[in-house]
Amino acid sequence: MLRTLRQRITLTDIVIWIIGLAIAGVVIFGTIRTLELHLYTGGGWIDLTIKGLALGGVYALIAMGYTMVYGILKMINFAHSEIFMSGPFTAVFVALGLSNSGFLDRQPVIALIIITLVSAAVSMVFAILLERICYRPLRTAPRLVPLITAIGASFFLQYMFRGLFGSQSRGYPTINALRGAWTFFGIQVFKVHAVVIISAIVMMLVLYAIVQWTKIGKAMRAVSEDKEAAELMGIDVDRIIVFTFALGGASAGIAGILYVILFPIVNFYMGFFPGIKAFTAAVLGGIGNVPGAFLGSILLGLLESLGPNLFLTGLNIPSPSQLKDAIAFIVLVLILIFRPTGILGERIAQDKA
């Protein structure tokens, strides 16, 4: 038994576990120190939690694109971050036009719907073009080829928007209707956070209902299981794949508007960090698993919001909130090392077995 254990456990495994335990020790020690110092009130922790839920909702809508495409094509669409960027970057001109005309202040709900529809439509069109031009000809190629193509398409879209609209950042107009806060059960919630959380939950329920309870959703799951068998049963595989990209693109476009409600600045590289974090969330929950994408996104949003203040403040690290991106990448590395199947991925794999 000891010989078998020695054969299975390598020096690399030991080093990885030591690093993991060291990180866990730092997190636990920092958390205890922060709580002992009482630097934040209960209201402060609630505000951070609500902010984390809002961020998690945005990441969930972006992660849906990653997880649905992976579920069907078994590839990571790294150009999805630029699909996310294309919608709000284009819709900013519509938003500025509506603001200058005064329509945004007179009819904020209708104006937001128009801006969201424009963003979703633009992202959906670019997602469909990406599938048709870049990925469909490579469908039977080795898996590394579409991956490299996705990275190239990402750079192409990024610098195409830079060339068309310039490298400067553009600000979304302020929506006066979303200023201030609402009170729920004695808890004050900023209107922007409440709108983002509610919108994200509604969109996730809609997407989940489409995948689980519609005819085309059943076809998507059939193609995900076995493309050849699905085609023999009369399912138009190309149509299902296009629909998957379109659905993921529209979801990313809506997520882009929710993101600029929280951070009202757009530029040609705005998709990089949210895209990487959404991919992290998809891996955390279990890539290819719709509920896993939502769960992983919420957890990552909470970690990004609460983590720097909870883990690092007690260690006397100046400006811990500046390290929120580092926490997201550390989570990605640790998940890939210790649980590459994600939180729900292994359970589903066992059920299928």
Domain that holds residue 177: 39-352
The confidence band for 6, taking pLDDT boundaries of 50, 70 and 90, is: low
Q: Per residue, what are the HEC states of 40-60?
A: CCHHHHHHHHHHHHHHHHHHH
Q: What is the CATH number of the domain that holds 175?
A: 1.10.3470
Domain-embedded: residue 258:
yes
**Using CA atoms, how far apart are residues 291 and 60, in angstroms rounded to an integer?**
10
**Using CA atoms, how far apart are residues 291 and 208, in angstroms rounded to an integer?**
8
> How many CB atoms are closer than 10 A to CB 149?
21
Domain-embedded: residue 3:
no
**Helix (H/G/I), strand (E/B), else coil: 186:** coil
Q: Does the predicted model carry a pTM greater than 0.85?
A: yes
- 286-296 confidence digits (pLDDT tens): 887 888 888 98
- 168-192 confidence digits (pLDDT tens): 889 999 888 888 888 887 788 888 9
- 35-58 confidence digits (pLDDT tens): 888 877 877 888 889 999 999 999
Which among 76, 98, 95 is positioned nearest to 87, based on CA atoms?
95
Which among 287, 6, 256 is positioned nearest to 127, based on CA atoms?
256
Domain-embedded: residue 1:
no
Structure tokens at 237: 């595989």
Structure tokens at 290: 């719709």
67-76, 154-163, 262-271, 336-345: segment of lowest average pLDDT: 336-345
Domain-embedded: residue 32:
no
How confident is the model at residue 17, as a pLDDT? 80
Distances (CA, A) of 339 to 8, 283, 284: 17, 9, 8
More confidently predicted of 32 and 40 = 32
Domain-embedded: residue 4:
no
Q: How many folded domains does the chain comprise?
A: 1
Domain-embedded: residue 133:
yes
Domain-embedded: residue 29:
no
Structure tokens at 217: 């959703």
Domain-embedded: residue 30:
no
How confident is the model at residue 347, as a pLDDT? 46
The confidence band for 30, taking pLDDT boundaries of 50, 70 and 90, is: confident
**Using CA atoms, how far apart are residues 153 and 165, in angstroms rounded to an integer?**
18
